[in-house]
Amino acid sequence: MEFKRPLVATLTAALKKRLPLFQALIGPRQVGKTTIAHQVLKNLPYPSVYSTADGPLPPGPEWIESQWRIAELELQKTGRPVVLALDEVQKARGWSETLKLLWDRAQYEGKDIRVLVLGSSALLMQEGLTESLAGRFFLNRCPHWSYSESARAFGWDLNTWLYFGGYPGAAVFADDEQHWKRYVTDSLIETVLARDVLQMQKIAKPTLLRHLFALSAIFPAQILSYNKMLGQLQDAGNTTTLASYLRLLESAFLVSGLELFSKGQVRKRGSSPKLILWNNALINAVSPKSFQKTLHTQSLWGRLTENAVGAHFCNGLSGTSSVPAYWREGDNEVDFVVTTGTDIWAVEVKSGRSGKIPGMERFRARYPQSKALVIGGNGIPLEKFFSEPAEAWLRG
């Protein structure tokens, strides 16, 4: 039976109604956004038009105008609402201005064209939506596949998901690790870097961007100062360049550099970032170690587990006011700190069963109103933690 992510039902319900808003769907490559779009179009009782801008060269605004005209003719012919789905829309030059013009005109003329736009660059999508299309859209986020989704769709246990990460297109190669590594590296990582980042932004040092991603994959869930990165990378320029490139990688849903928590300010600019990759597959695809070797290397598996917890927060809290950070003071460290409303949550990830957590104790002495979450060990079982949405652990 075809697996359907929860967004299918959400978008189907929204597009069944005639709303003064169109639907926007953003998320990483290879997580099923296009599949979701086709499933939604199949569910709806209306004629539809689907087209994608994901080609070697970005199209111009005439691509959107042409697809819109097809939708208008379908509307004239059938007299029924028409759903227009535009995939990787951020790649079309002047896409937001063109869509604004056509959408406003259709609203004024009373034409019932219901629009779904999809994109894999958070930066470019959100720039276009907020600058030109403010008040005209509802934003839906399509994150990386969770453990519970991967378990239902692929029959994976927790360790398998922690290693292979849950990309649906790569799941069929899980029994052949070399093919899996090549698929993720060539069809996913390279495609995102070459198409979604380098083609869409003016990058002065593209080789540095690639090396920064590779460095992040070598040091997952680790705090790495920008000065140390400068020492590891050739032609690295300065810390400002590295920080801006790290934000570009975050906009492509690849890597986040979590910043140091300070009271009243979730992110402390200029602090050494804690590198979190949004999907563990991005780490293991470029690692020379096999699944079994990684599983039985305690320190490495601990890093993967910690990174997966950070990724669960990054994916689940994206677009909210809750931003994960970390805390460190001398030798004392708390793996993650999340501020949500007036609550401060200190999160520690344990791969063993050791008792004392000195970093947590020092943090809670400094911030006595904070709340604690211990994940793994004698705390919340890992399988339970990953089976619930990230925000569920931060309520109340």
Shared-domain flag, residues 305 and 170: yes
Which range among 143-157, 238-252, 274-288 shows the weakest confidence by mean pLDDT? Answer: 238-252
Average pLDDT, the chain: 91
User: With contact defined as beta carbons under 8 Å apart, do 233 and 211 qualify?
Assistant: yes
If we measure between CA atoms, which residue out of 316, 326, 294 comes closest to residue 385?
316
- Identify the burial level of 368 via C-beta atoms within 10 angstroms of its C-beta, where 0-12 means exposed, 13-18 middle and 19 or more buried: exposed
Question: Stretch 56-67: mean pLDDT, rounded?
Answer: 92
Shared-domain flag, residues 259 and 292: yes
Say if 204 falls within a structural domain: yes
Shared-domain flag, residues 134 and 253: no
Shared-domain flag, residues 62 and 185: no
Shared-domain flag, residues 225 and 100: no
Shared-domain flag, residues 128 and 157: no
Q: pLDDT-derived band of residue 155, with 50, 70 and 90 as boundaries?
A: very high
Say if 355 falls within a structural domain: yes
- pTM for the model stands at 0.91
Shared-domain flag, residues 68 and 112: yes
Shared-domain flag, residues 211 and 344: yes
Is the pLDDT at 355 greater than 70? The verdict is: no
Neighbours of 233 (CB within 10 A): 17
Euclidean distance between CA atoms 369 and 337, whole angstroms: 13
Give the type of residue at 203.
Answer: I
Q: Where are the beta strands (DSSP E) in 95-168?
A: 113-119, 137-141
Shared-domain flag, residues 189 and 222: yes
Cβ density class 22-51: b for 16+ within 10 Å, e for less: bbbbbbbbbbbbbbbbebbbeebebebbbb
- Identify the burial level of 380 via C-beta atoms within 10 angstroms of its C-beta, where 0-12 means exposed, 13-18 middle and 19 or more buried: middle
> What would the 3-class secondary structure string for 235-264 be?
CCCCHHHHHHHHHHHHHCCCEEEECEEECC
Shared-domain flag, residues 112 and 217: no
Question: Stretch 70-78: mean pLDDT, rounded?
Answer: 97
Euclidean distance between CA atoms 156 and 360, whole angstroms: 33
Given 85, 106, 141, the domain boundary residue is: 141
Range of the domain at 159: 147-394
Given 141, 162, 191, the domain boundary residue is: 141
Selected residue with higher pLDDT from 96 and 125: 96
Domain containing residue 18: CATH number: 3.40.50.300
Q: pLDDT-derived band of residue 194, with 50, 70 and 90 as boundaries?
A: confident
Shared-domain flag, residues 185 and 84: no
Which range among 106-115, 305-314, 322-331 shows the weakest confidence by mean pLDDT? Answer: 322-331
Say if 1 falls within a structural domain: no
Euclidean distance between CA atoms 64 and 51, whole angstroms: 9
> Is residue 195 helix, strand or coil?
helix
Shared-domain flag, residues 153 and 188: yes
Euclidean distance between CA atoms 369 and 344, whole angstroms: 7
Given 126, 141, 156, the domain boundary residue is: 141
100-154 pLDDT per residue, tens: 999 999 999 999 999 999 988 766 677 777 777 888 999 999 999 999 999 999 9
Is the pLDDT at 357 greater than 80? The verdict is: no
Is the pLDDT at 332 greater than 80? The verdict is: yes
User: With contact defined as beta carbons under 8 Å apart, do 68 and 84 qualify?
Assistant: yes
- Cα angle: 38, vertex 21, 125; to 5 degrees: 70
Total domain count, the chain: 2
Instruction: Return the residue matching tokens 């319900």.
Output: 13
